[in-house]
Structure 1
Amino acid sequence: MKLAFLLARMAARGFVAAVAMTVPSLAQDTDAVKIGLLASLSGPLAAGGEQIRQGVELCLNERNFVLAGRKVELHVGDTAGQPAQARTKTQELVERAGVDVLFGPVAAFEALAIDDYIRKAEIPILSNGGAEDLTQRRANPWFIRAVGTSAQPNHPLGDYAAKTLGYKRVITIADDFAFGHEVVGGFQRTFEDAGGTVVAKLWPPLNTADYGTYIAQIPSDVDAVYIGFAGGNGLKFLQQFNEYGLKGTVPVLATMTAVDEAILKNMGDEAIDVISSGWYSAASDNAQNRAFVAASRAKFGVDPGYHSVGSYTACLLLEQALKATEGKADDKEKLRAALRSASLSASPRGAIKLDEYGNPIQDVLIRKVEKDADGRLVNAVVQTYPAVSQFWSYPPAEFLANPVYSRDFPPLKSTGN
């Protein structure tokens, strides 16, 4: 009954769904370009998965499911935020649905779990996963990042915290998995390079319900706490941070997902004044973004965020690539090359071009949570770092000679650990 309801809902929205890939009787257009969407529509990362679905839906509906003159089918696989399931759904989309290109998944660990299969199957993927090494030391030629690396927007935030805010001492608290390690690594490296000190790094598990023991470890003499959370963990932490009486006493810096628009709509005053960095804000004032936000509010009643604009961007890049191949998607190598060469002179995120590793070079925004005139919480843009590379200002060869950001790298300059 639940499966039937889900399929009916997706069919009503124009989708050809490949949920669990157990519906071979669904009519398919053999001449259509087939997109496989990997989205965590259940489990702890479901908010991001729903956003991915919304972004693709907005893009395709605007174009009546036609890109570069070709009809499009969308096949959806629910990864449930689980690496093993992400791999299974990837195989089903490629081998049973016969998709031409993949979008998604949400999490860095999901992207890492399917990396070897993508290489072997030689299937292009426009990913929302930030796993750094897929466009760095272990660059996958079939992997194009539709968003940015996990650390990419956090390099500017570390620089901003030290040079503009004048912070000297910061403690970090982040989810204990690849994404958390990488966002902290980016922030820590530039903050310390600018003369700041990270006094400690705390690593709560991804499924932490009570952050009290971590909040209790925040020293009274720090200038700020930096949080690196995904999913709903930013909401839980900020609520408990407020309950412990630290709001207004210790400023909060954050990676973009901790106060992403998908979560911000559920937050209250505990989020006000949080400063974050990211390559997108629904409050960005450009024509493409104003239209995108209006469409999202009209269709879904929410502001778009990290994952919805990521999959929307993936759709725009695919459209550019299909124009370059005259709508042909069956030659995977030509499609891969066209995707790698795709660029956007304008988008909700501004201009985007890909570096030689398949990662966007893009503006990074410093954002501050405020209430707008309608009382809606928004990430107001306070500063823009233009055309930021995944390598920040470091020479790529020097950057790649170091290990990927992890729990232990870079070590703290204050303690060596």
Structure 2
Amino acid sequence: MLNDNLKIIEELESSVRSYVRSFPTVFTKAKGYKMWDMEGKEYIDFFSGAGALNYGHNDPKMKEKLVEYIMNDGITHSLDMATKAKVDFLDKFNEVILKPRNMDFKVMFPGPTGTNTVESALKLARKVTGRTDVISFTNGFHGMTIGSLSVTGNSSKRKGAGIPLQHVVTMPYDNFVSEDLDTLEYLERFLEDGGSGVDLPAAMILETVQGEGGINVARFEWLKKIEEICNKFGILLIIDDVQAGVGRTGTFFSFEPAGIKPDIVCLSKSIGGFGSPLALTLFKPELDIWNPGEHNGTFRGNNHAFVTATESLSYWEDKAFEESILRKSDKITEFLNSLVEKYPELKGEVKGRGFMQGIETPVSGLASKVAAAAFERGLIMETSGVEDQVFKLFPALIIDDEGLENGFKIIEESIKSIIKNKELVTN
């Protein structure tokens, strides 16, 4: 029966499908940090919908609120009309997230996905400044529509656009060349020299931790210097927190520990709480120069997602939740460091922070083999980087210590089996 179902997928779904190739089974149920397939096999989920399920699967309180809303004939589709679900979300988001962090942002609902919020951010930055170009950074990933692809570094994804991607200048991300080279001195020189060929941009866009690009982490001092350069030249700073935000790196916004104040912030993935599509574009009030309907979409906002998103923010009313993320983040780091030490064959380097960590290895195909072996043993995990050189851990923030440790055991068993079977091939 399982093979029959996978055969239907193979025959009828486009070849563009990807995750079903890495996880070749048919899932039927999910709860918390676990998933089950149609044969009843249990999996620990260290994937979390690529960061869209920070609170795990089918959170009981969110589910209860959503079912109640649906059974009471709550509004499902409303474009950007006023609904009680939207009012409740905006109010709670302001009270629980923005005010305690002294953040004064207008909230825009650009459409339901991550690429929608990036597109709206780029569009707004150009409208506000009257400039055309944007500076992006090496290995950045910002989405799959044309504007988002233009600021994405991955060459294979860029080629999928089918047209030249213009009006973007790519600069080196922190430590892209080496730890000893100050890439921001290079960037600033380009901006101040009229002969550099680089026009003053409307914005710079970056991820504080590059999820798809290889779990690369920008140092806080680098981020602060980026902010200083943007302020100096009147450039808007856009932080893409679609994957790294909503607690994934330890704090609600990934940039909080750096002490910076972006002009525009992009949120999606886990902001909906339950896995329902929702995206926000946050920006400083003085940037809110949109004309009514100037940027819109049939599915901007999502009332079902407003309901679950509002309930998800209750987690952040308790300081113990954020403390638990930081404590468990340390466990993840310790585990990954132990793997690098115990298995020198990996030639590994620990990357990332918070619940967004992994091991980079130069050994050809090794990260993919670890992820595949882990899946066979009941753990869902993916790879990252241009060469899939990083196997990454993205557990749900609500996972308990037992779940983490069981996942750790599977990863270590997978590495042991690969080393034992001499599957390592050095580049």
* TM-score category, normalised to shorter length: 0.3 to 0.5
User: How does the TM-score come out when normalised to structure 1?
Assistant: 0.32
Q: Based on CA coordinates, which of the two structures has the bigger radius of gyration?
A: 2
